[in-house]
Structures are given as structure tokens and as C-alpha cells.
Structure 1
Amino acid sequence: MPQSSRLRRLSTVALLPLVVGALAVVATPPATAAVGDTRIAWVEVEDGAISGGPALNSGDHGNFSGSGSYTFRETGMTSTMTVTAPEAGTYPVWIRYAAGPLTPEENVTRSMGLTTNGSRQVVSYPLTGSWETWAFARADVTLAQGANTIAVNCTRNLPTEMCRLNFDAIQVGGLEPDTCVATPAPVGAARLFDGTFASFDQWRKAGGGGFGHQTDCTIRGFRGPGSTWTQTTTSQQAGPYTLLLDWLRRDADDASSVYVGSSTNNTANPTTGYRVMIGASDTATVTSADGAFTQTADAAALAAAVRPVNQWNRYAVQVTPARIRVLLNGRVVNAVDRAVPLGGYIGLENRSEAAQVDFRDIQVQPGVDLGPVAGPARRATKADGTTANPGGESTLGNLVADAQRWATRGASGGTARISFATPSALKTDLVPTGSTVTYAQAAAVVDAEPLVNMRLTGAQITTVLEQQWQTTSGGEAATPAFVRLGASDGFTWTHDASRPQGDRITGTWLDGAPLNPAGTYSVTVSQSLAAGGDNFRGFTTGLVPQVRSATTLSALAAYLGDSSTVGPLALPQSQRAVGVTVPGGAPSSYVAGTTYAVDLSSWSYSAATDPQDTTVDVTIAGRPAGSFPVDRTRTDNAFDEDGTVAVRATIPADLAAGTAIVRMVGSTTGTTVTRSIAVTAAPPAPTPTPAPTPTPEPTPAPAPLPTSTTPPAVTKARPNLKVKVRPGRVVARKTRAKVVVTVRSAGSTPTGTVTVRAAGKTYAARLRNGRAVVTLRAFATRGGPSVRVSYAGDATTLSTARTLRIAVRAP
């Protein structure tokens, strides 16, 4: 009888208690297949009828299929299994066994009996190298149509039958053992478990419990606490990587865990690395392996993402040097910012006797996808579009500053409210692949430099901003002559480059409120800036500077990932710094009806893909005062003065004396500059001197009235336009904001149409009793979108418009 063995090293796990019965998987072979070419049954030895001696369920060995395996050592030990054949004929039988080392005399090829329907043959089983390593031995048997019995048995008839073997399962039929088809993995990924026995061989169990290969090509935990580990690390784990796997809980008490970054793979309770848990109450909780650290998942995100028992869930565990991020079914449910060892072993944990969690499709992909971004963020360039310009404001510099403030916004980071980034730290542009940006792309932008949080007064911040016009410590001009700092969202300033050195910053604001020169603010910068790098020596005067756990790189990677959980991350739109110069000097007050003149500069980013304004809309005391074009001509100006606007707005002639706010807003970016001006009322028109009264003449008879007359001209009233946005908290992709518009004017109730333009869409509504409500679609991303509200006017009321910004928060 021809025999062959095919070595299959399989690893992992633990075993289940004895189950008596027979498992038969029946398949009808295709018409063109010969008898025996197709697998008709996979039968677990532990599910057969065990008899004839103290057969041992080998729970101390892993790498089994089903729920366990059995050790056959003495005469008479038998497992009898039932198989149903679709037709009579000769079938191959693939017997899965392990033959580990014993005494020198016994370390030879062993043999045992195989009895089919009462007909017995002896099958040889070469050594497999260890009791954790399994192989297949083949024998051919004759089956009748219908029910048949197949039994492995031992007579202990030395030297012919030595026994001393572990038996796992029998496959009946099939040209090869193991009919599981490997789950495909992307190019470059490492398949740790793809459904086949061959991939299962990469694992080894530790502890009493472990995992068994199932006929549906999955693996399942058995026998209580224990773990199964990969035997080697993969090249895909040399850098940041993503571990992908499917898991399924069949009962409410099923529980397991996934280990990453462990320095050992020979224990059920490792002390290094981290584990991501699976269970009824702790799914996606991340703990350090030694138990010293625990962070639970985001409850709302977890509830929205997790699928119930008996349904498959998908983990994507992203591992970078400074964080572990867990995505469940595509949704971020936990992110741990801690030092994480790259490489290390990957393991699965079985937590208890009843905890039988199933796994499939386990693979490691190199790299980490952080999330979608709404376009590229670029460094500032000169007019040629390629030469770096450290003096230009850039979307990338502002984005890095946003990330640094975000990463240190909590108490552990210093509750930062402002952050600055230097252009010298920006190594390349951030250009997503498609719409997604990767960790590698973020790492190409900035190095992993520690972040420092400090306290600066408003006056000290102004000093730092003055140092953008560069001088050395000795007071000499530096090269480059100007370095524009990137700044976090909410912090803005204005400058007048025509003023003397050290007196060019004309205003600073945080969230619209002027900075208090004596007030203290929490500021985060890179360690090199904190030390006075790039001639920004003002940072060295900061109070209680502390190095935080986040770095420039970890902050950027985390911000790009966690801030884009709903839709693409919106990139910086508005300018943080704008030049404002009053030609000829500002008067002490302006007369109503005259011209307010101001020259704006530094209004444009340099890259063609950056957001750009074409006009700046001006209001005075809330009244529209005109739109003025932005000259976006690119030059090699080293002082960030490109993007100029000449504002020449007429102050309303009927404006009462007092203080008025001039508001200048970019039509696309929402860049905003406000100025407070003193207004003097326009002088009254002179009263003409009355002429002498002539001698009265006789009054002629009145002429007949004409049949029609021209009505007198109507003087339209200026309206008062008020806009409110409800609710106060607008959340991206969730809240449909309502814009409440009220129009009032003296002497009448305005009628007509109101239009609202937001996020590229235009809405219209008619006034009722001077009021209209417009419901907007939910905004796709967080940020501060610009909203333009216009009233068309009516027969007695002038038209008017205003622009506002809505604060849209991330979910």
C-alpha cells in the first residue's frame, strides 16, 4: 500500500475535553473527478469513540485541529470514527499526527494500525521533530457507499507497532491534505494566519489554554488561560505597521486579547508590549502587558462600531513608535500615546475555559494609514513655485502648529492654547496619496523632536513675533532676513513693516480677544525653538518650560489621524498674520461720509493649491462698505508681503458720532482683520439765506390739475441685518445649523428675499414679519466655514449683506 508523509509544522494551543461522536463532512465530487479526488470528510480523533486503555487527551500540546488531540501509547487503544461515502471506491486517507522525541531506541519511524470496516493495515509515521510539529501520513482505504468505520489503533506489537504517537484528525478523500484556500493578502503584507495549516504552523502555544484550527478555516480558543504566539517577527514590523485580523464572539462571556510588541513568545502572561482586549465589557481596551497601564475605548465610538455576538468584527491595530491606535470595523475606538517597541512578537490570548473567540485573516501590513486629508499642505515658496521661502506663511507650517497645540491641549500636555512652528523644521510638503495620508508621509515632513510647553506673557509673545525680522544675538542682520512662524488656529496678529525694528507688531489676538500684555498664556513649541533656535531668543524667557511626551512627529501623526474621523481633515484656510498699513498715517477720527483707507498685505499663501481670496469684503458698523480685489501677484518678496489689497471704503454718511468697527473678511478663506475707528458725525447741510419777500401779486385762478402726475422719489431706509446661528454647538456631519436672519428698518417692516451661501451651496427664504430661518446641510468637516448672508431689499428698504464664520467642531 503506497504511503507518504507531508510535514506540516503547526502551532499554537490547547485542547478541549473529550467529545464522543463522529463528525462527517460529505461533499459530492464533480462529475469529472475520480472517486477519492475530493474530500468527503474531516474527522477529529477526539470526536471518535475512544476505547481500549488510558488514552490521553494531549492538552499539553498545541497546533491541533478541532478541540484537541489524543496520545496513543498502549495496546488496545482505539478511536473509531464514522464516515459516509457518496459512492464505493478507493479513497486516500490523510492522517494528521505528531511523533516527537522519546528515548534513543524509540526515536525511529513508528507505526500503528488503521482499520477500515474491519480490514486492518499498518501505517508508518516518521518522526516530526517535536510534539508541537504535525505532519500528514497517507493510506488508501476501500469504502462502501454509505456509512463506514475507520479506526486508528495500537497493538503495541514491538518492533512492528511501536505506537507512542499523537493523533489529531483524519481527512478522507482529496488529492492533498488541507482543503482551506489561503485568504489573499495585499502585496507586501505578511500572512500570519490565512486559514491554512501551513500558516497556522507559524504559531506556538504557551500556558494551559490555546487555539485549534477549525473546519471553516478559522482558529478558536480552548481550555482556559493561555496564549499562542508567532515564532518570528516579520520584516513588515521593522517600521510602523498595521496588524489586521477578524474576530468573532459566539457567546456573551467569550473573551480574548491580541498582543503586540512583546519581547517574549514563550509565556502565557508576557510582561512587555501591549494587549488589545476582546470581551463583553472591555473590547478595544488597551493595557500594557504588565498591567501597569490601562486605557478603555471611547464608549460612543465602540458602541457605534462593534457588531454583536455571532458576527465577525475587524481590528486594525496601528503601531507607530509613539502610539497604538485601534480601529474597529473601520472606526477609531482607542488611541494610546505611549512609547511602543516596533517589532516584537504578536500573540493571541485565551482568557478562560469558556472564552472561545474565533479568529481569521491575520496579517501584518507595513505602514500606517492615518486618515483622509482635504488636499495637500505645502511649504511657502518663491515666485518660481519650487524654491523654499522661509519668510512666507504656509498651510503646512500652520498645520504643524495646529497639531502641536492639539497634542498638548490636555492637562498632561500643559493645556496649550497657542503653538508656533518654524519653517526650518519642515522638510517636505505633505501630499496625500489619493486622499489618505500615511505615517511615512508625516514622518517625511518633520523629525521626531520633543515638544516643550511653557508660559509666556502677551508682551513676551509680541517680542517673539518681532524676532521674525531676524537679527543675531549681537544685533546684526541675519540670513535669512525674515522667518515667518507658523501659528495654531485661533491666534492671529497684524504688523506694519514700515515701522521701526522691534515695533512692527501692531496687534495680537487669541480667539478674537486681544492678548493682555501682562497676561500669561500656555504656549507649545519644538525643543529647538524653546532653546532660541532660528534666532527666536524670546522663547528662552518662557516660564516653567517642560518637555512633554509628544514630539513634533507624534503630534502631527496623531492629529492627522484622530482629527479626521469624520470626513477629510480640513487644512488651514485663513492667514494667521496680515500686514495693515494706513497710508499717510491714521487720523484721530474719521468724518462720516468720507473714505476709510487702509492697505493690506500678506493676504495670500504661495502655493497654487492653497486657498486663495479674490476679494475682501468690508463692513463699517455692520453695514456693507464694498468688496475690494486681492492682487495675488507672486514675487520674490522675502518679507511675506504678497497678496495686497487697497481698501478705500466710504463711511456711511448718516453714521452717528462714536466708535465704529471696520471688519475686513476674505471672501474664500475667511481671513479677518478688524479695526476700531473714531467717527465724527457729518456736518449738517448749510441752510440757505432766505430771499426778501416781494410785494404780493393778485392770485391767478388755479390751473386745472393734470390727468396724471409723476410720484415723488422714495428715499429707502438703511436696514439693520442681524444673524444668529443655532444651536451654539455645530458638529460636523451631525448638526444641521439654522441661520436666523432678522431685518429691521425705520418706518416699515422689510419684506423680500434673504439668501445664504455656505459651503458652496446657496439657500433662499422670504422674510415674514422681518424674519427668515434657513436650515443648512450638515458641514462635512470641522473648521470655521464662511457664511454669506444677503438681503435683496424692497420698495422702501436698501439691500445689505454680511459675512460670518460658523465654528464647526469634530464629532
Structure 2
Amino acid sequence: MPQSRRLRRIATAALTCVSLALGALALTPMAATAAVGDTQIAWVEVEDGVISGGPALNSGDHGNFSGSGSYTFRETGMTSSMTVTAPEAGTYPVWIRYAAGPLGGAEDVTRSMGLTTNGSRQVVSYPLTGSWESWAFASATVTLDQGANTIALNCQRNLPTEMCRLNLDAIQVGGLAADTCVPTAVPAGAARLFDGTFATFDLWRKAGGGGFGRQTDCTIRGFRGPGSTWTQATTSQQANPYTLVLDWLRRDADDASSVYVGSATSNVTNPTTGYRVMIGATDTATVTSADGAFTQAADAAALAAAVKPVNQWNRYAVQVTPARIRVLLNGTVVNAVDRTVPLGGYIGLENRSAAAQVDFRDIQVQPGVDLGPIAGPAKRATKADGTTPNPGGESTLAHLVADAQRWATRGASGGTARIAFASPTALEADLVPTAASVTYAQAAAVVDAEPLVNMRLTGAQIKTVLEQQWQTTSGGQVPTPAFVRLGASSGLTWTHDVSRPQGDRITGTWLDGTALNPAGNYSVTVSQSLAAGGDNFREFTDGLVPQVRQATTVSALAAYVGDGSTTAPLAVPQSQRAVGVSVPGGAPSSYVAGTTYALDLSSWSYSNATDPQDATVDVTIAGRPVGSFPVDATRTDNAFDEDGRVAVRATIPADLAAGTATVRIVGTTTGTTVTRTIAVTAAPPAPTPTPTPTLVPTPTPTPTPLPTPTPTTSKVKPTLKVKVKPGRVTARQTRARLVVTVASTGSTPTGKVTVRAAGKTYVTKLRGGKATVTLRAFTAAGKAKVKVSYAGDTATLSAARTLKIAVLAP
């Protein structure tokens, strides 16, 4: 123990018998209409009195005491004398907190002991409490003088009426009932584990030498060395995911404690099962397995920003689900441990040492776990009626589930997944947040619970998997449904042409914009049922080194939604992974500059009214805008996900040089992108006209020439402003939206705005002087450079500016 602390505690002990020390206790002010004695005037700890006539303080060998311990009275002459200051003379009730456990035989009866007030002695009865760990209140009345009074508990076993053999804890003077602490409020459905009252504190049991005592401010504090206290209430044995909420406070730099969850035992100092969430100078929010085999420190930056200093209260919310413990400190996520976690088991508090005292209050268990906010609903595909699920439709929910499964297996222990697929037939419910937030129960209801399997597939095998979306059984029959659209993780895209023969309809596959190598190996995660060839996706059974991973479909989705800050909503997938592409009449070997480029697109639209939809697509050729074309999003019951059709008929720039050129088609809302490479032949030169014979004209007088006016321009220089939404952009998750405003004097600018970011070009039209461009999610954290340019119009000059977007790590 530090010398300063030791001296402070010695000084405090020397003053405990002085009435002024009681001024620090929680005294309830006298109401103007209250009778003498109706209001508590003092709470006096027996151990703080002048102890005489027997051995030293019992040191709290039994738990659930108040203050710093209790005192055992068992021999004649044992006394604790305490000073109480009364605001006025009169009769006051006293409430004596005690424990009377079994002794055996004739001694297991109601016991009695003396209570002396200002020299006047009476005998108080103390019925058995059932055990030495169970406490009760015995009541009596005393007459006090105004000012200082002496109240003493004393044992006279030589008198036939007194047995003593009691543990005495504290005396409350005044009040209409014992324990004036008001229970802290809890949300509906929550269970109070400690709400400030003795009624809930008595549901805990001490293990080991150290213990916890309730203080006069209705909190509990650890004392006297290593030990723990465990709740015995059945409410601590959780069968479903729950959130343990509690407040804690460190008074000195060396104070330390821990919170236990999921322990199979409730009577040990150091449990070997469950997990421990630590509190201390250097290890706050560190999570360890109780057996010490596993330790994960908190995120240092998040912890430093969230934790409050000594002498200020902090609040833990420890979320426990079957595969995860997530720790929120003062509302900020500071640690998340993905491990198998027992939902049952006991909850406990640890006292690490005699010098390391930590205070606790408002301990409660709330049913369920709030994972955090999501930017909007993610839904299954539906048929034209808007309600009937359609496994053949592309859906934001299937893509979100695939994103979650790739995220959960992104690390080395998960297989370093780069791609994940999800089957729509495994989706059981839409993910619709309540007040923008998602609970664990909602996430668990979305998808069938099964293990995840990571494997290696070649680019050619991935193409075969995608070909198997057009279904056939192992016997060659076409089942119902005849088409199943896989959900795919972000970054994986493909094109198809339904006019091509079965087995050869996939015309291109890309990962983060790079074509898949047919011979290359890619780490792919799927559910166990897909890995076994479910839904006729038999190619998965040929994956290399398939391995079941620790994460499941449910734990992956819950952890993905709950990852990171509770204030930054998780982005819902926007862009299409699959697009139908065909060239009417067949693609020529090359296109002549100045002629029409024609392309028919399909499968461009999601099916739900709440899903992101494109009204138009913008087209560029060789980086030059060539037009915007409408999306026909008419809903049908097309079984092959062909809704969302676009007819691109764009004029190739007449001055385009011969060579290859990239055609880029981008959805103005979703950012769905299709690129094609075409060969361009230069436009033929214009024919030279036949010369006309020259005639000699009759000379005429030459008129005096008029002065030629000097050309002037009336174009106005505009202002160009760019606003980035949302304010927090996360790599691989957030699709930043640029709101571009072009203003000038005397007119509203029209024309095109071009945005270049991360190697991609986006072109859109101004409408009312404004344009909105949605970028694809950035692939890496850092400062992303974005260039915005305006081409100008007949009344407005061109303008450009460059900005940098801060992209956060996921």
C-alpha cells in the first residue's frame, strides 16, 4: 500500500468515533411537517465506533456488509460505542443491521444483546437470519438529547437474557423504515442486480478474503485484498443474449477490479470459466478468459477517448452473445472479442487487492443486445407484388449477408477471405432497423444459423458457380425455382448474356475492377450448406482445402452490424453485382468515330421500393461524356432477374482517334458500373468538293470597308462548391456522395460535371445548378484525392477544384 494511502486511512480510523465524521454520511434533511424520528439522521458503522472488551474487528469474514466490515459480538464486555448528533431531542427509532447464523443445538434460537443510549440500557432481540451471509434489521427506540449522544452495542453473556453470538454491521438512527437508499431506475424488462438497496445487495455472495461493502452513498466498494462477490439471483443465469450495464469509479491511480461474465461457479475467488472485463490504470476494458488462456486488450485510441479520469464515474455496457463479447465504455465501443461465450453462468465483481478499491453502482442486466445503427433497411428480393420473396432476384440483404461473411473471415484465422457468397434461400427475414438501430435478435432472425466454410476457388471455378445460378439438378432437370441469384460481397461483379447457351452465359468477372484470373486461386467463404453443394451449386464441393471457421452465419452478421462506433450507421449495399449486357445485332469488330454505339443492359434494378434505384445512367467514351439514358425499372415477375433495362444509344465522338477506348456506364444513384473496351476506327475524311470554273467579274467600285468589331465574351466565371456526405467515410463500407453546386451571376449554369476519384470517372448533368455524384466505396483508408470539374455552358466559364476526403479504416 502506498505510504500516502496508509497515512490517510490511519487518520480516517482515528476520527471515526467523532460525531463530526458522521457529517459525511448521507443525512436526509428534516421535512417541516415530519415528526421527530421520522427522518434518518445518521448511519453509523459498528466498526467505526470505539471498540473495547474483545478481539479486533472481525475484518468482514462474511460478505454483504456495509461500510468496510462488520463486528462479531460473542464474549462478555464486547462493546462498540458510537456518537450520534441529534438535531432535536426526542424519541427516535433505530435499525440495527445484523446476521445471526446457525451455531447448532440449543444456540439456534432468537438471540439478544444490549443497546445502551446515554447510559440507559435495553435488550434487543435478534431472530435467526438463516446463515451468516444473510442480513436483517432489528428495531428498537431510543431517547436522544439535542446535540451529541452516545449509543453503544454491548454484550453481557453473564446475564441470562443475553446470548450475543451476533455479527453486527451498522445502526441507522431515525427513519420510517430501514435502508433509505432509493432504487435506481432500470428500463422495462431489465433485472436489477444492484440498485443501491440492501435488498439487491443481499443477492450477492462473497468468495475469498476480500469483500465488498455498501457505502452511505448507496454504492458498493471493494475492501481488504483479493476476493470476489457473485450474484446468486436466477436473473443472472441468462439463456439469451444480454447486456450487463454498470457504473464504476476509481478513486486512486492504483485502484483495480474486474467484472466476470459466464462463470460456471459462484463461490470461488478466481474462476476458471467465463470471461473477465478488467478495470485498472493500464488494462481497462481488456477482456481475458477466466483461465488466462486468452487476452485481448482494448482499442487504445478508442479507450483513451472514452475513459474518464479517477474520481469520475464510468459506465460499462458489456454485450454478451453466443459468439461475442463487446464492451462499450461511456457509449463507445472499446473492445470486441469473437469467441464462443456461454450465455448462462454467473456474474461477479473482483477485488484485486487491499489497496485497489473500486466503487460500483447501478448494476443491471438488460435483455437483448443493441448492435448499432444501420443506414436503412436491407431486404430480400420480391416479386412484382412487393411481398412474395423471389430467390431469383438480386437483393441488398443477400449482398449485406455476404459482406458480413467475408468480413468475419477476413483475418488469417478465418482464411483471409476476399470473396463471399450467400444463398437467398437461407434468408428468413428482412433486416429492418428499429429507430435506425439493429438488435441481435433482429440479426439472428435474418439468416439460417450454420457454420461458415472457407475454401480456395480458381477464377474458372467462380465462373462455373455463377453459371449454376441458372439451375439444373445433378440429373440434368430444371428445378423450381429455375434461377437462384447469389448474394456476393462488395468488389465482386460480373456480366451475363441470357441469349447465350446454358453454361456459357457469364461474359466477365471482376474483383475490385480487375478481371478474375481463370487459373488464379481466390479465398472464398460460404455457408456450410453451400459448401456442400446446396441449391444446386455443386461447384463449391470442388473447392480446395475447405475448412469450417469459428464464425457462423448469425455471428458474422451480428458482429458486422455491431462493428465499430455506435454512432456511424452501417452502409447498406447500393450497387448491383450482376448486370446483363448484350449488343443488338452483335458487336462489330470496330466502331467508326462519329457513329452510334448501341448497348442493351438488363438486371440493373433491385426489386424493393426501399432499395436504391437509378433513374438514369451516365455514359462516357474515352472519358468524354456522351449522354445520359433512362432506366426502365418496371417491375415484372421475370424469373431471371432481368428487370431494370437500359438502351444505350450514344454517338462516339467524331474526332476520336483510332485505337481502343473504354466505354463506362455508371448508375447516377447506385454507382453500378459497367465498362467495355471497344476498337475505334477514325472517321473518314470529308470529300473534297469539285472546283467550280472561275469567271472574270465586271469591275465594280470598291466600297469603303467598315471597321470590324472586336470579338468580346459575355461568359461569367462561376463559383464551384462541393459538399461531402456523410461526414464519416469508411473504407469498403461508405459510398461518399458529392453534392456539387455551380453558381454564376445572371443565369443558372447547365451542362456536365465530371468527378475523378480512385481511378474512376463519374459524369452527370447539372439540374438547377446542382448535381449529386455517388462514389464507389474507397478500398483503403487515408486521404482520397478527388477532382471535380465543370465544363461550362454558353453563358458560364468552366471551373474545377480538387479536394481530399478523409477515409477511415473499417
Q: What TM-score results when the alignment is normalised by the length of structure 1?
A: 0.88
Would you say the 8 A contact 2:83–2:150 is kept in 1? yes
Cα 1:160–1:713, aligned 2, differ >3 Å: closer, same or farther? closer
Q: 2: CA distance between counterparts of 1:328 and 1:552?
A: 27
* Percent of pairs with identical residues: 81
Partner of 1:108: 109
Partner of 1:464: 465
Q: Deviations over 1:263-286 (max 9, x none)?
A: 110101111111111111111111
Q: 2: CA distance between counterparts of 1:757 and 1:481?
A: 41
Partner of 2:561: 560
Tell me, yes or no, if structure 1 residue 63 matches structure 2 residue 64: yes
Amino acid at match of 1:212: G
Amino acid at match of 1:290: D
Partner of 1:350: 351
Q: Deviations over 1:500-559 (max 9, x none)?
A: 111100100000111111111111000110111100011111111111000000000000
Query: SS where residue 66 of structure 2 aligns?
Result: coil
Instruction: Describe how 1:102-501 pairs up with structure 2 within 5 A.
Output: 102-234=103-235, 237-501=238-502
Q: CA deviation at 1:447?
A: 2.3
Q: 1: CA distance between counterparts of 2:600 and 2:803?
A: 22
Query: SS where residue 340 of structure 2 aligns?
Result: coil
Tell me, yes or no, if structure 1 residue 98 matches structure 2 residue 114: no
Q: 2: CA distance between counterparts of 1:469 and 1:779?
A: 31
Would you say the 8 A contact 2:236–2:365 is kept in 1? no
Partner of 1:610: 611
Would you say the 8 A contact 1:19–1:46 is kept in 2? no
Tell me, yes or no, if structure 1 residue 687 matches structure 2 residue 681: no
Q: 1: CA distance between counterparts of 2:775 and 2:755?
A: 13
Q: CA deviation at 1:112?
A: 1.0
Amino acid at match of 1:105: A
Query: SS where residue 529 of structure 1 aligns?
Result: helix
Q: 2: CA distance between counterparts of 1:46 and 1:598?
A: 89
Q: 1: CA distance between counterparts of 2:451 and 2:420?
A: 14
Q: 1: CA distance between counterparts of 2:265 and 2:499?
A: 65
Q: CA deviation at 1:204?
A: 0.2
Would you say the 8 A contact 1:258–1:347 is kept in 2? yes
Q: CA deviation at 1:704?
A: 2.5
Q: 2: CA distance between counterparts of 1:115 and 1:195?
A: 30
Q: CA deviation at 1:187?
A: 1.1
Q: 2: CA distance between counterparts of 1:351 and 1:119?
A: 44
Q: Deviations over 1:245-299 (max 9, x none)?
A: 0000001111101111111101011111111111111111111111111111111
Query: SS where residue 671 of structure 2 aligns?
Result: coil
Would you say the 8 A contact 2:332–2:565 is kept in 1? no
Would you say the 8 A contact 2:97–2:171 is kept in 1? yes
Q: CA deviation at 1:372?
A: 0.4
What is the alpha-carbon root mean square deviation over aligned residues? Answer: 3.5
Q: CA deviation at 1:709?
A: 6.8
Partner of 1:769: none
Would you say the 8 A contact 2:179–2:198 is kept in 1? yes
Partner of 1:764: none
Q: 2: CA distance between counterparts of 1:271 and 1:29?
A: 50
Tell me, yes or no, if structure 1 residue 19 matches structure 2 residue 20: no
Tell me, yes or no, if structure 1 residue 583 matches structure 2 residue 584: yes
Would you say the 8 A contact 1:240–1:342 is kept in 2? yes
Partner of 1:703: 703
Amino acid at match of 1:83: V
Q: 2: CA distance between counterparts of 1:110 and 1:779?
A: 80
Q: 1: CA distance between counterparts of 2:272 and 2:600?
A: 65
Q: 2: CA distance between counterparts of 1:197 and 1:453?
A: 52
Partner of 2:792: 793
Q: 2: CA distance between counterparts of 1:535 and 1:28?
A: 77
Would you say the 8 A contact 2:285–2:297 is kept in 1? yes
Cα 1:514–1:805, aligned 2, differ >3 Å: closer, same or farther? farther
Cα 1:383–1:808, aligned 2, differ >3 Å: closer, same or farther? farther
Instruction: Describe how 1:709-720 pairs up with structure 2 within 5 A.
Output: none
Query: SS where residue 570 of structure 1 aligns?
Result: coil
Would you say the 8 A contact 2:102–2:131 is kept in 1? yes
Cα 1:756–1:182, aligned 2, differ >3 Å: closer, same or farther? farther
Cα 1:783–1:180, aligned 2, differ >3 Å: closer, same or farther? farther
Q: 2: CA distance between counterparts of 1:149 and 1:735?
A: 70
Q: 2: CA distance between counterparts of 1:45 and 1:800?
A: 82
> In terms of mean alpha carbon deviation, does 404-413 or 729-738 score higher?
729-738
Would you say the 8 A contact 1:189–1:236 is kept in 2? no
Q: 2: CA distance between counterparts of 1:103 and 1:408?
A: 61
Would you say the 8 A contact 1:783–1:809 is kept in 2? no
Q: 1: CA distance between counterparts of 2:732 and 2:413?
A: 30
Partner of 1:646: 647
Cα 1:587–1:797, aligned 2, differ >3 Å: closer, same or farther? farther
Cα 1:609–1:805, aligned 2, differ >3 Å: closer, same or farther? farther
Query: SS where residue 358 of structure 1 aligns?
Result: strand
Cα 1:375–1:479, aligned 2, differ >3 Å: closer, same or farther? same
Would you say the 8 A contact 2:671–2:776 is kept in 1? no
Q: What TM-score results when the alignment is normalised by the length of structure 2?
A: 0.88
Q: 2: CA distance between counterparts of 1:265 and 1:582?
A: 72
Q: Deviations over 1:621-665 (max 9, x none)?
A: 111110000001000000000000000011000000001110000
> In terms of mean alpha carbon deviation, does 788-797 or 370-379 score higher?
788-797
Cα 1:546–1:280, aligned 2, differ >3 Å: closer, same or farther? same
Amino acid at match of 2:379: R
Q: CA deviation at 1:60?
A: 1.4
Query: SS where residue 100 of structure 1 aligns?
Result: coil
Q: 2: CA distance between counterparts of 1:504 and 1:753?
A: 38
Unaligned residue ranges in structure 1 (runs of 5+): 1-15, 742-750, 760-773
Cα 1:414–1:643, aligned 2, differ >3 Å: closer, same or farther? same
Amino acid at match of 1:288: S
Q: 2: CA distance between counterparts of 1:448 and 1:319?
A: 18
Q: CA deviation at 1:691?
A: 2.2
Amino acid at match of 1:19: A
Q: 2: CA distance between counterparts of 1:777 and 1:810?
A: 22
Cα 1:779–1:462, aligned 2, differ >3 Å: closer, same or farther? closer
Would you say the 8 A contact 2:394–2:487 is kept in 1? yes
> In terms of mean alpha carbon deviation, does 516-525 or 153-162 score higher?
153-162
